[in-house]
């Protein structure tokens, strides 16, 4: 009888740990600003341009570029959260450090690479094409840094992107940043 009670207690505790980890992970994502693309920064810019350093087609206005970039960032953030939820749904988390490493490899890196590809496909406004290219290069560098990093917490993920965060802010794409500052 005691073994049964102990076993039931351990199963309940393991399930609580899993739910607690997922809840903590999602909360930390939102709080750390890792919920990529949480929205527009509220600025409007109707500047136009005439050529593009990235993407193909007619260069976008600054306002149109920001709008499309925010849509890409927001979609990436939603997909990251969805994939995290799917990965840990009903599955016990035995080792938190391994779980973060797995998230890095199976969720964050592939999703960020897809986001980068989509952002690079946008025809940048002529006036800010070099700035946008530098920002996307910083995102690519951050992904490469993340691939090499030991990830033991969510802050380890966001710490791979300080230059991108700085350039996203200076380019008016604050909602695409990883950090909260």
- Counting the structural domains of the chain, the total is 1
Tokens of 155: 């802050």
Q: How many Å apart are CA 168 and CA 170, to the nearest integer? A: 6
Is 24 part of a structural domain of the chain?
yes
Is 160 part of a structural domain of the chain?
yes
Tokens of 136: 């996307």
| pLDDT of 164 | 94
Q: Do the Cβ atoms of 4 and 153 come closer than 8 Å?
A: no
Residue with the two structure tokens 């996307």: 136
Higher-confidence residue: 118 or 40?
118
For 79, the domain range is 2-176
pLDDT in tens, 47-71: 433 333 466 678 999 999 999 999 9
| pLDDT of 156 | 84
Q: Do the Cβ atoms of 50 and 62 come closer than 8 Å?
A: no
Is 181 part of a structural domain of the chain?
no
């Amino acid at each position: 009888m005691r073994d049964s009670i102990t076993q039931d207690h351990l199963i309940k505790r393991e399930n609580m740990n899993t739910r607690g980890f997922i809840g903590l992970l999602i909360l930390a994502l939102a709080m750390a600003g890792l919920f990529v693309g949480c929205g527009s920064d509220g600025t409007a810019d109707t500047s136009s341009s005439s050529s593009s350093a990235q993407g193909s087609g007619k260069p976008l206005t600054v306002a149109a570029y920001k709008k499309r970039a925010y849509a890409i960032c927001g979609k990436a953030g939603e997909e990251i959260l969805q994939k995290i939820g799917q990965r840990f749904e009903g599955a016990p988390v035995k080792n938190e450090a391994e779980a973060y490493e797995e998230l890095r490899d199976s969720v964050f890196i592939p999703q960020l690479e897809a986001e980068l590809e989509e952002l690079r496909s946008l025809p940048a406004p002529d006036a800010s094409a070099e700035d946008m290219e530098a920002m996307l290069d910083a995102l690519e560098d951050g992904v490469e840094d993340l691939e090499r990093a030991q990830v033991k917490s969510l802050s380890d993920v966001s710490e791979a992107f300080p230059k991108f965060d700085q350039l996203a802010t200076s380019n008016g794409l604050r909602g695409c940043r990883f950090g909260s500052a």
